[in-house]
Amino acid sequence: MTRPYLDISAFRNHSQRRAKRLLDTYNDNRWRTEAYRSFLIGTLVLELDNLLIQSLRAYAFCRIWQGQRSGIVAKIDRKFMSSAEYTAHFVRILSPAKYVKLHSPTVLSREHEWSIRDPKDVAKIIQGVCGAVPVELNNAIALNCRVFYETKIVRHFYAHRCEDTMLKLKAALPIFSSGIINHPDDYLENILPGSSEAKFITWWSEYDDFFSVA
């Protein structure tokens, strides 16, 4: 469930605290044994992916509520609505054909709202409701953080751990076809060519940078 933040600073503080807990777990040497390494790395990837989805949705809510309170939102005539009403707006903006097929409802359950992993989709939602995208969000998108794209691919492998998801991972991330890296565990823990830190640390830093700016 998306927590309702009416203040962008409160949202940032909470999301960064949650991300810091993942980083602390990653850096905890007590779990770095061969017996638990892959399981816990996979768990951290799944948790980070969930955090990205929840944070992007919560951010959209926060910016829309700011607009409603300041009176700049013309398409919503009330200060607060139910989550189902916001979901209807999200689907209307991101998937107009689906929205019409559902008979243009004013409320929709979350099952009709797919997971938002792309910050550009959040910009579309905010623009569709508020009429303008915050400068801060545009600046954050300009950072071109790869974590939103890469996490989705790697999490699918850890969620299913099958040949199909491994093949998709190799097709999407060329480093797996180069012979340098053979398994996602190594991809996340090794310092890759052109980098000075492990990929998981880079992902965490990009998450922190994006929401600090946005």
Q: What is the mean pLDDT of the chain?
A: 89
Please report the pLDDT score of residue 110 as a whole number: 87
For residue 114, pLDDT beyond 50: yes
For residue 209, pLDDT beyond 80: yes
Q: pTM for this structure?
A: 0.90
Structure tokens at 35: 């017996």
Convert the pLDDT of each residue in 134-153 to its tens digit.
999 999 999 999 999 999 99
Convert the pLDDT of each residue in 11-57 to its tens digit.
999 999 999 999 999 999 887 788 888 999 999 999 999 999 999 99
Please report the pLDDT score of residue 79 as a whole number: 58
